Each structure stands twice: as C-alpha cells, then as structure tokens.
Amino acid sequence: MSTDVMIYADDLTKRFGSLRALDRIRFEVSRGEVVGFLGPNGAGKSTTMRILTCFISPSDGTAKVHGHDVFDEPLEVRRKIGYLPQRAPLYQDMLVWDYLRFVADMRGLDPTTFKSRMRKIVEVCGLAQVLGMDINTLSHGYRQRVGLGQALLHDPPILILDEPTSDLDPNEKAEVIRYIKEIGKERTILLSTHNLAEVETACARAIIISKGRIVADGPLDEIRARSGKIRYTLSVSEQTAERGKAPSVAEVQSALRALAGVRGVNELPTDEKAHAFELAGDQDGDLRSDLFRLVVSKGWTLLELRRDSQTLEDVFRDLTKGDERRDRRLGRDADDDGEAADKKDTPERSESPKEVAASGG
C-alpha cells in the first residue's frame, strides 16, 4: 500500500443480522483527493463511514486510515480524521461555544490555536449568530453547521462527511461545498451526498455503492462515459409538414425506432406544438446526420436536435435501479458465521455525543 493512500478498504463486509449491509467493498482514496460517495438510501454509505471512523467494526475485511488499522489503532485513526455523522450528535444542553470549546479540549488544542481555528469555523459554518445559544434551541440546519464545525475544528488531514449539506439552506449549501472544494486542495475528503450537482462541483472522482457493493469508482468523466451511451433529444413540429399531413406521435416514434443504431425512444413532454423524443445511441457513433436526413425525407420540420453525454444522474440511476433492502437478505442458512459476528458488533443505530467526543483521541 503506497504511503499516499489515506483511506483503504479491502474486502470490507458488514452484516446486520441477515442483512449484508456491505459486501466485500474495496477502494482506496489517496492524499488530496475529494471523493463523492454516492448511493441510494440504504446502500451502505453511512455504514462504510462508521467503520472508517471506528464507530462500528466490520464483520470481515480490513480498513485503514492514514495507514492505521481501524481495529488495532483506533486512537491514531481518530486523531487524523474529522467526522460529521449523518445525524450530528450534539450535547443538547450546552451552549454552541462551550460545546466547540469542549471538543477542542478533547482534541488537545491550545488556546491560541483554538481561537484562530474558531475564527475560521465561525466564518465557514456561519455560526456567528448562534455561538451563545443552547444547542437544543437551534434549528436542524444550524445543528448541522455546529456538527460540521466540530469536524473541522482540529484541522484534520482527512475528512469523512456524511451528507454535510443535508438540511442546509441553498446559500449555506453552496458555501459549505465551496469550502470543501477549497480545503480539499490539501486534504483528503470522503463526502457522501444525494446531491449530484455537489459532486460535480466539489469532486473529481466518485464511488457509487448499491446494495452494499461498489458499482462504479473513477473520475467523473469515466463514470459518465461508463453507460456506453449517448443521449439525443429531438423534436419535430406537430403542425407544419412541408407536404402531406402533419406527423402523429406514433408515426415519428416508429420512424425513429426503425433507424439503425437507435435505442430506447421515449416521448418527452413539451409546451410547444411539437413531438419531442429522447433516444439513446452508442458512445462511439453520431446519429445526428441520420436523424436529420430522416426528418427531411419525411418532410417534417426539425425544431431541435441535440447530442449529449449521459449525465452523472443518468448513470447513477442506471447503476442503482432496484436497490432494495430485501435484495440483500441472506438466506438464514448462509449466515451461520454472520449471526455471531453481528451480536458482537452491532451497536445502536445513531451516534451518541460520547462517540463523537471520544473521537477527540
């Protein structure tokens, strides 16, 4: 394993009873990478992050952070990471300032460093208005901001952020993503989110997980190209035929379907007096000339013709369709060893404040 590998997961498996939440996942994140960790609800993102941050142990496999094994050297791991759990666990009866001070003490920050870090945290997380407030009086979004502040306070080289922007307002979302991109220049960040636009903004690489398995891992361009398809959008006027009668939807659709190289023709809604369609063709080909010639030969009027790569969202949907919990249910028979492991290492679902405070190392 190269010394530049900051996060390492090898054959990581996690069983919860008969559910295989993670199934031999394997990936590496190198120094300086900002990686989007994507997947549908229940795919296993938080479970992976909880293993990497030492809050639960894997049923099988190895995980290392900054070269330290999460099982054998949890304190070393926790010193190197800032972790924002999906549901930021906070001490409800503390003032925001006192809570962050407490986290700084746990992390062993000296007063001067604390002050300078707090200036940055207050600015980035937009905390100026709430520093003197009780945590239990904060709105959900502000609690998320405090949780993010806690993760960044000790300026860790590795950040594991589980949906850091969920529940933030659009301005704050953009600000946090801008900051993540900024600090990602010299840190390693694993960022889970359901917002694919955020991944496009902040990350050069994504890992997509589905049903506990990695289904894509690579630069965003490669992932977009992965479906091997190109998407075309075409619309023809429903009225002005040059000769003969105006075309019907069915007529256009069947002519498109009959064209060589065209796959999956779907009608699109449109406000214009037009028939609009979306269709797919091979990655290497270009169907625009054939589509244009078809429209001309029929005497129809072409209003729009576009050729686009698949979007990250298209590929995400293709790769994760039908990700349902029951798909992963193991046969009882197959889980003899699983039961024992799960009794040992299945904790309560949500993180307690103690867990995060304990990550002070």
Ligand X SMILES: Nc1ncnc2c1ncn2[C@@H]1O[C@H](COP(=O)(O)OP(=O)(O)OP(=O)(O)O)[C@@H](O)[C@H]1O
The residues that touch ligand X, with contacts defined as CB under 6 A, are 16, 19, 21, 39, 41-47, 86, 325, 346, 349
**Residue 144 is a binding residue for Mg ion (CB under 5 A):** no
Cβ closest to ligand X, residue 199 vs residue 252: 199
Q: How far is the CB of 86 from Mg ion (least distance, A)?
A: 5
CB of 50 to Mg ion, least distance (A): 9
**DSSP calls for 309-344:** EPPHHHHHHHHHTT--GGGGBPPGGGGHHHHHHHHH
Check if the beta carbon of residue 84 is closer than 8 Å to that of residue 143: no
Q: Shortest distance, CB of residue 307 to ligand X, whole angstroms?
A: 33
Shortest spacing between CB 18 and Mg ion, in angstroms: 20
Stretch that binds Mg ion, among 78-86, 129-137, 223-231, 237-245 (CB under 5 A): 78-86
237 binds, among ligand X, Mg ion, none (CB under 5 to 8 A by kind): none
Q: What tokens were used for 182?
A: 């900024």
> Which stretch of DSSP H or E encloses residue 22?
strand 19-30
**CB of residue 92 to ligand X, shortest distance in Å:** 22
- Least Å distance, CB 358 to ligand X, is 18
What DSSP state is assigned to residue 119? H
Q: How far is the C-alpha of 37 from the C-alpha of 194, rounded, in Å?
A: 9
Residue 51 CB, nearest approach to Mg ion (Å): 13
Continuous H helices in the chain: 45-52, 74-80, 96-106, 111-125, 140-152, 170-183, 196-202, 220-225, 249-258, 288-298, 312-320, 336-345, 353-358
The residue (of 162 and 238) whose beta carbon lies closer to ligand X is: 162
Q: Between 165 and 235, name the residue whose CB sits nearer to ligand X.
A: 165
- 80-139 residues in contact with Mg ion (CB under 5 A) are 86
Which H or E run includes 229?
Answer: strand 229-237
- 21 contact, one of ligand X, Mg ion, none, CB 5-8 Å limit per kind: ligand X
Q: Which does 42 bind (CB under 5 to 8 A by kind): ligand X, Mg ion, none?
A: ligand X
On whether the CB atoms of residues 191 and 204 are closer than 8 A, the answer is no
150 belongs to the binding site for Mg ion (CB under 5 A): no
**What is the sign of the dihedral through the CA atoms of 168, 170, 175 and 179?**
positive
Q: Which is nearer to Mg ion, 15 or 45 (CB)?
A: 45
Contact between 233 and 287 under an 8 Å Cβ cutoff? The reply is: no
Of 79-87, 231-239, 306-314, 340-348, the window that binds Mg ion (rule: CB under 5 A) is: 79-87
**Nearest residue (CB) to Mg ion, 192 versus 235:** 192
Residue 47 binds Mg ion, judged by CB under 5 A: no
Q: Which does 44 bind (CB under 5 to 8 A by kind): Mg ion, ligand X, none?
A: ligand X
Quick one: 42 or 61, whose CB is closer to ligand X?
A: 42
Instruction: Confirm or reject binding of residue 46 to Mg ion (CB under 5 A).
Output: yes
Report the alpha-carbon distance of residue 48 to residue 12 in Å, rounded.
8
Please say which residue, 155 or 167, places its beta carbon nearer to Mg ion. Answer: 167
352: which DSSP letter? P
User: Considering CB distances under 5 to 8 angstroms, the limit depending on partner class, which of Mg ion, ligand X, none binds residue 143?
Assistant: none
Residue whose token pair is 């952070």: 65
Question: Out of Mg ion, ligand X, none, which partner does residue 58 contact, by CB within 5 to 8 A per kind?
Answer: none
Q: Which long-range contacts does 295-299 make (Cβ < 8 Å, 24+ apart)? A: 295/234, 295/236, 298/247, 298/255, 299/241, 299/242, 299/243, 299/244
CB of 295 to ligand X, least distance (A): 43
Q: Which two tokens stand for residue 340?
A: 């024992």
DSSP letter assigned to residue 41: T
Interaction of residue 53 with Mg ion, rule CB under 5 A? no
CB of 27 to ligand X, least distance (A): 15
Q: Which residues bind Mg ion (CB under 5 A)?
A: 45-46, 86
